[in-house]
């Protein structure tokens, strides 16, 4: 499993996890919407922590190397 989730992407996923948990408690944890929100929160948290997203692998999306590409393209002219 190749890591494909960059640091900005991870932060966004963690923020969305917090929002989904809040939504789950607002809707009621035992309601259908609450359970769906908790499942979504769990998926977002696991992908943020692991750095691997199966959907990104399927579509060959890689937010991890975005910062590497922009950072390594600077060359000094002599």
How do residues 5-49 score in pLDDT, each as one tens digit? 999 999 999 999 999 999 999 999 999 999 999 999 999 999 999
**C-alpha pair distances (Å), 15 with each of 37, 57, 65, 70:** 13, 22, 21, 25
How many other CB atoms are there within 10 angstroms of residue 41's CB atom? 20
Instruction: Select the more confidently predicted residue: 1 or 3.
Output: 3
Q: Could you tell me if residue 38 is left (phi over 0), alpha (psi between -120 and 50 degrees) or otherwise beta?
A: alpha
In a domain, 61, yes or no: yes
DSSP 31: S
In a domain, 17, yes or no: yes
pTM: 0.79
Tell me the pLDDT band of 64, cut-offs 50, 70 and 90: confident
Confidence (pLDDT) at 73: 45
Domains: count for the chain = 1
Confidence (pLDDT) at 11: 97
The span from the CA of 72 to the CA of 78, in Å, is 17
Range of the structural domain that residue 43 is part of: 7-72
């Amino acid at each position: 499993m190749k890591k494909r989730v960059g640091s900005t992407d991870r932060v966004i996923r963690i923020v969305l996890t917090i929002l989904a948990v809040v939504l789950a408690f607002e809707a009621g944890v035992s309601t259908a919407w609450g359970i769906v929100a908790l499942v979504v929160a769990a998926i977002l948290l696991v992908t943020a922590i692991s750095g691997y997203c199966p959907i990104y692998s399927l579509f060959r999306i890689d937010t991890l190397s975005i910062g590497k590409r922009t950072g390594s393209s600077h060359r000094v002219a002599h």
